[in-house]
Amino acid sequence: MTTGRRAFEEMIKDRIVQHTCGKICSLQVELASDRVIIHGRASSYYLKQLALQGVRKALGIDSKTEIELNVEVSSQP
Protein backbone atom coordinates (compact mmCIF):
# COMPACT_ATOMS: atom_id res chain seq x y z
CA MET A 1 0.00 0.00 0.00
CA THR A 2 1.36 3.41 -0.87
CA THR A 3 1.99 6.08 1.72
CA GLY A 4 -0.45 8.44 -0.03
CA ARG A 5 -3.19 5.87 0.06
CA ARG A 6 -2.58 5.14 3.74
CA ALA A 7 -2.60 8.88 4.50
CA PHE A 8 -5.92 9.28 2.66
CA GLU A 9 -7.43 6.40 4.66
CA GLU A 10 -6.23 8.05 7.88
CA MET A 11 -7.69 11.40 6.81
CA ILE A 12 -11.08 9.77 6.20
CA LYS A 13 -10.85 7.94 9.52
CA ASP A 14 -9.99 11.20 11.31
CA ARG A 15 -12.98 12.94 9.71
CA ILE A 16 -15.29 10.12 10.89
CA VAL A 17 -13.84 10.36 14.41
CA GLN A 18 -14.45 14.13 14.41
CA HIS A 19 -18.07 13.74 13.24
CA THR A 20 -18.89 10.97 15.71
CA CYS A 21 -16.80 12.21 18.66
CA GLY A 22 -14.88 8.93 18.46
CA LYS A 23 -17.95 6.80 19.20
CA ILE A 24 -17.52 4.30 16.36
CA CYS A 25 -15.86 1.22 17.85
CA SER A 26 -13.32 -0.85 15.89
CA LEU A 27 -13.29 1.76 13.12
CA GLN A 28 -11.42 0.72 9.98
CA VAL A 29 -11.18 2.50 6.63
CA GLU A 30 -10.14 0.70 3.47
CA LEU A 31 -9.70 2.11 -0.02
CA ALA A 32 -10.59 -0.20 -2.88
CA SER A 33 -10.12 0.72 -6.54
CA ASP A 34 -13.50 2.43 -6.90
CA ARG A 35 -14.88 2.71 -3.37
CA VAL A 36 -14.25 3.45 0.27
CA ILE A 37 -15.12 0.68 2.72
CA ILE A 38 -15.88 1.58 6.34
CA HIS A 39 -16.06 -1.05 9.09
CA GLY A 40 -17.00 -0.59 12.72
CA ARG A 41 -19.70 -0.70 15.38
CA ALA A 42 -22.02 2.07 16.56
CA SER A 43 -24.56 2.29 19.35
CA SER A 44 -27.14 4.07 17.17
CA TYR A 45 -28.19 4.66 13.58
CA TYR A 46 -27.58 8.36 14.21
CA LEU A 47 -23.87 7.67 14.78
CA LYS A 48 -23.81 5.54 11.63
CA GLN A 49 -25.29 8.48 9.70
CA LEU A 50 -22.72 10.85 11.19
CA ALA A 51 -19.97 8.48 10.05
CA LEU A 52 -21.36 8.60 6.52
CA GLN A 53 -21.41 12.40 6.61
CA GLY A 54 -17.77 12.39 7.70
CA VAL A 55 -16.80 10.19 4.75
CA ARG A 56 -18.71 12.39 2.31
CA LYS A 57 -17.02 15.53 3.61
CA ALA A 58 -13.61 13.87 3.35
CA LEU A 59 -14.25 12.78 -0.24
CA GLY A 60 -15.75 16.09 -1.36
CA ILE A 61 -19.19 17.04 -2.57
CA ASP A 62 -18.63 16.11 -6.22
CA SER A 63 -17.03 12.74 -5.54
CA LYS A 64 -18.42 9.80 -7.49
CA THR A 65 -16.63 7.32 -5.23
CA GLU A 66 -18.90 4.59 -3.91
CA ILE A 67 -19.10 4.29 -0.13
CA GLU A 68 -19.62 0.87 1.45
CA LEU A 69 -20.72 1.48 5.03
CA ASN A 70 -20.33 -1.74 7.04
CA VAL A 71 -21.06 -0.24 10.44
CA GLU A 72 -23.01 -2.58 12.70
CA VAL A 73 -25.55 -0.89 14.96
CA SER A 74 -25.89 -2.55 18.34
CA SER A 75 -26.69 -1.40 21.83
CA GLN A 76 -24.09 -3.86 23.15
CA PRO A 77 -20.76 -2.28 24.16
Give the pLDDT confidence of 28-73 residue by residue, as tens digits. 999 988 899 999 999 999 999 999 999 999 998 778 889 999 999 9
Per-domain boundaries in the chain: 3-73
When mean pLDDT is compared across 1-5, 10-14, 20-24, 35-39, the lowest value belongs to: 1-5
Among the listed residues 16, 64, 21, the one whose alpha carbon sits nearest the alpha carbon of residue 40? 16
The Cα 44–Cα 1 span in angstroms is: 32
pLDDT at 75: 79
The model carries a pTM of 0.87
Over its C-alpha atoms, the chain yields an Rg (Å, rounded) of 12
pLDDT of res. 77: 56
Instruction: Report CA 37 to chain centroid distance, whole Å.
Output: 7
Instruction: Give the pLDDT of residue 33.
Output: 83
Fold of 3-73: hypothetical protein tt1634 (3.40.1520)
